[in-house]
């Protein structure tokens, strides 16, 4: 079975990371997988076993998702966007997949609607139309009151016109889509809950890197400076534990140099690492934002955690997730505007003084369940 997954991450790398996790699961099941990425390259994310095809990249202008920048940090030109669309339609027409999966669209990435609609129309024009599926995380960015009706209607109209199913990567019993998105009677029949999509649980090896450390992370994107600054100030007040700050984004080395200038000697600062999940297994605690992938990393490793969700530009998705997770033992939630060095140290003391929480054996096999669902849908064709 040929699988084509289309994803564009605009700020962090979480969307691409989840798409690659799905791609790896399809590949492990013996399928031919292409992941077509339209965001900035993220070499720290492993793509072994999956064909990773890079479109001419774009990113958002910080948290302004209405402005797309190209690799030169200038507004993406019409020619640049046209090249992306031509690459997308060329991929689907020259080598038609059995299943086409768009990550987030049409529930997001509306600024790229022209290229997505061109892709969907091209998929419908090939001799054997692929199953067309949408892949979305547990919590979406809820439409604002002003745009709620139009955004929900747009998503419903596109789903009804082009899609066979919407794959919701959560548990309907604990995180139904209704928690963050208006689910109508039109949309509901398309929803297929897969469970949470996470890589296999990490395994401890002989390396002891990260042992007993406070691991501070902000994903793979160019956000998190305020979080890193707060961590350095907190570490400056206490040298009881070693700290490790993992920096991502396009300006990693310059950001590391700036942060290191203010950091005490027991704070190690480096680029985001591919063994992040293994570090968490050995860590004393994690301090991070609360994106989908990081939240699952924390749950799978059992590390005590302080979540400081990203909330710039009116973003509420991570805050909703952090509030829900903070009901579990050894997990705390601080809002970004309330973080001080003292409040962060107090939260760390709270989560590390209690017994380490139990790591559940099930609930993280959404990628494997997605493979089974897609196989069944394609077999029905």
Q: Does domain 2-197+364-379 have CATH number 3.40.50.2300?
A: no
**pLDDT given for residue 220 in this prediction:** 66
Tell me the mean pLDDT in the region 93-104: 97
pLDDT at 17 over 70: yes
Evaluate whether 325 touches 343 at the Cβ level (below 8 Å). Answer: no
Averaged pLDDT for residues 188-211 = 90
Per domain, the residue ranges of the chain are 2-197+364-379, 214-353
Under 8 Å between Cβ of 287 and 308: yes
pLDDT at 219: 78
Q: Residue 66 pLDDT more than 80?
A: yes
Q: What are phi and psi of 246, to 5 degrees?
A: -110, 120
State how beta strands 267-271 and 285-288 pair: unpaired
- Mean pLDDT (the chain, rounded): 93
Tens of pLDDT, residue by residue over 344-355, are: 999 999 999 989
Quick one: which of 47, 20, 39, 14 has its CA closest to 220?
A: 14
DSSP class per residue in 153-206: HHHHHHHHHH-SEEEE-S-TTTS-GGGTS---TTTGGGEEE---B-PPPP---S
The 10s digit of each residue's pLDDT in 111-123 is 999 999 999 999 9
pTM (2 decimals)? 0.88
Binning pLDDT at 50, 70 and 90, where does residue 169 land?
very high
Inform me whether the pLDDT recorded for 362 exceeds 80. no
Q: How confident is the model at residue 153, as a pLDDT? A: 93
109 band by pLDDT with thresholds 50, 70 and 90: very high
pLDDT at 331: 97
What pLDDT score does 305 carry?
A: 98
214-353: same fold as 2-197+364-379? yes
pLDDT score, position 43: 85
Q: What's the mean pLDDT in 200-216?
A: 88
Please determine, for residue 107, whether its predicted confidence score (pLDDT) is greater than 70.
yes
Question: Does pLDDT of 141 surpass 90?
Answer: no
Tokens of 113: 């609607």
Does the pLDDT of residue 299 top 90, yes or no?
A: yes
Mean pLDDT score, 303-313: 92
pLDDT at residue 137, as a whole number: 95
What angle, rounded to 10 degrees, do the helices at 317-325 and 292-301 form?
Answer: 20
* Rounded CA separation 248/254 (Å): 11
User: Residue 142, class by beta-carbon neighbours within 10 Å (0-12 exposed, 13-18 middle, 19+ buried)?
Assistant: middle
pLDDT of 148 strictly over 70 = no
Q: In this model, does residue 222 exceed pLDDT 80?
A: no
User: What fold is seen in the domain 214-353?
Assistant: Rossmann fold (3.40.50)
User: What is the arithmetic mean of pLDDT over 321-341?
Assistant: 93
CA distance linking residue 367 with residue 251, whole number of Å = 32
User: Is 308 in contact with 343 (CB distance < 8 Å)?
Assistant: no
Write down the pLDDT at residue 165. Answer: 98
Confidence of residue 46 (pLDDT cuts 50, 70, 90): confident
- pLDDT value of position 322: 94
- The residue among 380, 326, 278, 376 whose CA lies nearest residue 29 is 376
Residue 86 has pLDDT above 90, yes or no: yes
Return the closest-CA partner of residue 104 out of 36, 15, 184: 15
Q: How much is the average pLDDT of 230-241?
A: 94
């Amino acid at each position: 079975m040929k699988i084509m997954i289309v994803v564009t991450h605009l700020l962090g790398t979480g969307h691409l990371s989840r798409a690659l996790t799905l791609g790896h699961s399809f590949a492990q099941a013996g399928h031919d997988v292409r992941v077509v990425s339209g965001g900035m390259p993220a070499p720290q994310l492993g793509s072994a076993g999956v064909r990773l095809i890079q479109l001419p990249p774009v990113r958002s202008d910080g948290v302004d998702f209405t402005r797309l920048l190209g690799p030169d940090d200038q507004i993406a030109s019409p020619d640049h966007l046209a090249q992306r669309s031509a690459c997308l339609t060329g991929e689907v027409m020259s080598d038609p997949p059995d299943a086409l999966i768009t990550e987030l669209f049409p529930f997001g990435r509306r600024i790229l609607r022209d290229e997505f609609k061109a892709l969907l129309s091209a998929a419908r024009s090939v001799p054997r139309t692929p199953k067309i599926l949408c892949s979305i995380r547990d919590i979406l960015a809820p439409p604002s009151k002003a745009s709620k009706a139009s955004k929900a209607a747009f998503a419903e109209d596109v789903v009804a016109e082009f899609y066979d199913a919407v794959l919701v990567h959560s548990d309907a019993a604990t995180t139904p889509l209704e928690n963050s998105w208006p689910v109508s009677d039109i949309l509901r029949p398309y929803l297929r809950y897969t469970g949470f999509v996470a890589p296999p649980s990490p395994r401890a090896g002989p390396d002891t890197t990260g042992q007993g450390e406070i691991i501070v992370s902000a994903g793979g994107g160019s956000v998190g400076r305020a979080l890193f600054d707060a961590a350095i100030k907190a570490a400056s007040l206490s040298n009881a534990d070693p700290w490790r700050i993992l920096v991502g984004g396009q300006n990693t080395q310059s950001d590391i140099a700036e942060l290191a200038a203010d950091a005490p000697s027991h704070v190690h600062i480096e680029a985001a690492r591919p063994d992040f999940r293994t570090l968490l297994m050995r860590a004393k605690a994690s301090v991070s934002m609360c994106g989908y992938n990081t939240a699952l990393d924390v749950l799978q490793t059992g590390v005590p955690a302080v979540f400081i969700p990203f909330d710039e530009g009116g973003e509420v998705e991570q805050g909703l997730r952090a509030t829900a997770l903070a009901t579990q033992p050894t997990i705390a939630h601080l809002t970004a505007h309330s973080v001080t060095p003292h409040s962060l140290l107090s939260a760390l003391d709270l989560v590390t003084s209690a017994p380490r929480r139990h790591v559940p054996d099930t609930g993280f096999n959404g990628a494997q369940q997605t493979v089974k669902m897609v196989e069944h849908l394609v077999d029905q064709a």
